[in-house]
């Protein structure tokens, strides 16, 4: 499919800007419309990971092939993590290559959002901030989440601890999901992800912070609290009424862990190439990305049915696999490989976890609703968690900001 010289993109996130860069470099007059005041304004300096296990090729090598310069933003590579089991055992999956990279989201110059913005402007893209544009008026739709299937709450803080990524499987602190701690160059983020809807969800973050304080020497000095929501769903089609849906707008993200940047950038590039007549977007997305999304949905379906006992089994298997093959990344890659068992499970996952919905733009999707809480989610905060809640109130009085509240979830 080819279009005229003028192309309109809805959304100045990573997927929209990736598409805009490719199109502008090919001579198109590209206009990107963004309702927020800047790229990355949806975020507030929180750290996120770009995974490197769903493909045999390094994602930064793929970006190089597309002409997207990863030196435009700061990234930190990791080949090892602290894997925290539900019983508080800590082990270390590792690989000889790059397992994932940590980038910062937001409006600071070194963030990935601003890096893509600079590349877009250099390519001649016209970005219109604080602008409303109907999806029906655009060629590519790259808008963010509309509803909640899961939420995350985090705290950014100063610390003396070395750079580290810690990943915790714990159904109490992170119902149905995980918590994590990332520290880069003296700035840390502790975050808990909730895949079951909760009242008083702030207590989960306070209790999670308490756990990390007890197990790591942090000398934590709070700066601000952040968060966000994820809307997980699979559309029936990725091209609707001539519009290309990319990134989160197209449901192209990881149901299991919430990773989405790799899928977002890839889908943006594919949409641009399709508009230039170089590929069939629907076919390429279904070949390259949809199998990964479906595998992650199956993994999420299984995770929803296990508590800490199941999480412990996963952690133990992960480490056994590393001892057997010498590479902790292989287990993560295996989780996303299609196979007979996963293909057999998919019809049950599709019917049992996803709900049919017709969106306002006319698209038919199957989305994952925000699951209700369980009885085991009701517990009283520890003494230290209550103290952390009071400490945060004092930080707020001194100017500490919260960019994502419980009501927004």
Give residue-wise pLDDT tens across range 6-28: 999 999 999 999 999 999 999 99
Q: What is the pLDDT of residue 91?
A: 97
The tokens for 107 are: 């409006």
Residue 317 main-chain phi, psi, to 5 deg: -65, -40
Query: CA-CA distance, 281 to 324, in Å (whole number)?
Result: 39
Q: How many Å apart are CA 171 and CA 371, to the nearest integer?
A: 14
CA distance 304 to 130: 38
Torsion region of 148: left, alpha or beta (phi above 0 gives left; psi -120 to 50 gives alpha): beta
∠ CA(23), CA(29), CA(34), 5° rounding? 80
Query: 397, exposed or middle or buried, with CB in 10 Å at 0-12, 13-18, 19+?
Result: exposed
| Residue 50 confidence (pLDDT) | 96
Domain positions in the chain are 1-76+97-144+237-367, 150-230+379-408
| Stretches in the chain below the pLDDT threshold 70 | 1-4, 405-409
Q: What's the pTM?
A: 0.94
Q: Residue 360: what pLDDT?
A: 87
Tokens standing for 93? Answer: 């999956």
Of the candidates 293, 233, 296, 257, the residue with the CA atom closest to the CA atom of residue 176 = 257
Q: Which residues touch 168 (CB under 8 Å, ≥6 apart)? A: 84, 174, 178, 179, 180, 181, 208, 211
Centre a 10 Å sphere on the Cβ of residue 378 and count the other Cβ atoms it contains. 10
CA nearest to 370, candidates 347, 358, 354, 351:
354
Look up residue 20 and give its two tokens. 């805009």
Q: Rg of the chain's alpha carbons, rounded to an integer?
A: 21
pLDDT of amino acid 405: 65
Determine the topology of domain 1-76+97-144+237-367 in CATH: FAD/NAD(P)-binding domain (3.50.50)
| Alpha-carbon torsion (137, 143, 146, 149), positive or negative | positive
pLDDT score at 258: 86
> What pLDDT does 246 receive?
97
């Amino acid at each position: 499919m080819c279009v005229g010289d003028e192309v309109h993109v809805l959304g100045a996130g990573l997927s929209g800007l990736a598409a805009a860069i490719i199109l502008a470099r090919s001579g198109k007059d590209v206009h990107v419309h963004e309702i927020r005041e800047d790229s990355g304004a949806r975020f507030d300096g929180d750290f996120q990971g770009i995974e490197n296990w769903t493909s045999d090729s390094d994602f930064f090598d793929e970006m190089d092939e597309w002409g997207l310069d990863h030196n435009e933003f700061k990234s930190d590579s990791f080949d090892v993590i602290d894997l925290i089991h539900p019983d508080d055992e800590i082990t270390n999956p590792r690989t000889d290559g790059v397992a994932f990279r940590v980038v910062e989201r937001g409006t600071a110059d070194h963030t990935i959002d601003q890096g893509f913005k600079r590349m877009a402007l250099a390519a001649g893209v016209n970005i219109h901030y604080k602008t409303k544009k109907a999806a029906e008026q655009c060629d590519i739709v790259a808008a963010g989440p509309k509803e909640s299937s899961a939420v995350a709450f985090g705290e950014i803080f100063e610390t003396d601890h070395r750079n580290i990524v810690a990943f915790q499987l714990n159904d109490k602190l992170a119902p149905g999901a995980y918590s994590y701690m990332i520290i880069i160059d003296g700035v840390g983020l502790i975050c808990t992800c909730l895949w079951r809807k909760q009242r008083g969800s702030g207590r989960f973050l306070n209790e999670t912070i308490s756990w990390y304080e007890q197990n790591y020497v942090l000398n934590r000095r709070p700066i601000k609290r952040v968060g966000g929501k994820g809307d997980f769903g699979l559309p029936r089609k990725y091209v609707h009424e001539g519009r290309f849906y990319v990134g989160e707008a197209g449901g192209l993200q990881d149901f299991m862990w919430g990773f989405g940047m790799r899928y977002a950038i890839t889908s943006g590039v594919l949409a641009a190439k399709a508009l230039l007549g170089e590929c069939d977007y629907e076919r390429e997305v279904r070949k390259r990305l949809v199998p990964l999304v479906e595998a992650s949905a199956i993994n999420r379906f299984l995770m929803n049915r296990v508590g800490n006992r199941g999480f412990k089994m996963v952690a133990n298997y992960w480490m056994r696999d590393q001892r057997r093959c010498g590479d902790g990344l292989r287990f993560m890659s295996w989780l996303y490989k299609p196979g007979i068992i996963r293909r057999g499970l998919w019809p049950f996952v599709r019917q049992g976890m996803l709900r049919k919905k017709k969106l306002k733009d006319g698209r038919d999707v199957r989305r994952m609703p925000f699951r209700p809480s369980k009885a085991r989610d009701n517990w009283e905060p520890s003494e230290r968690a209550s103290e952390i809640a009071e400490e945060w109130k004092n930080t707020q009085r001194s100017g500490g900001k919260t960019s994502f509240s419980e009501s927004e979830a």
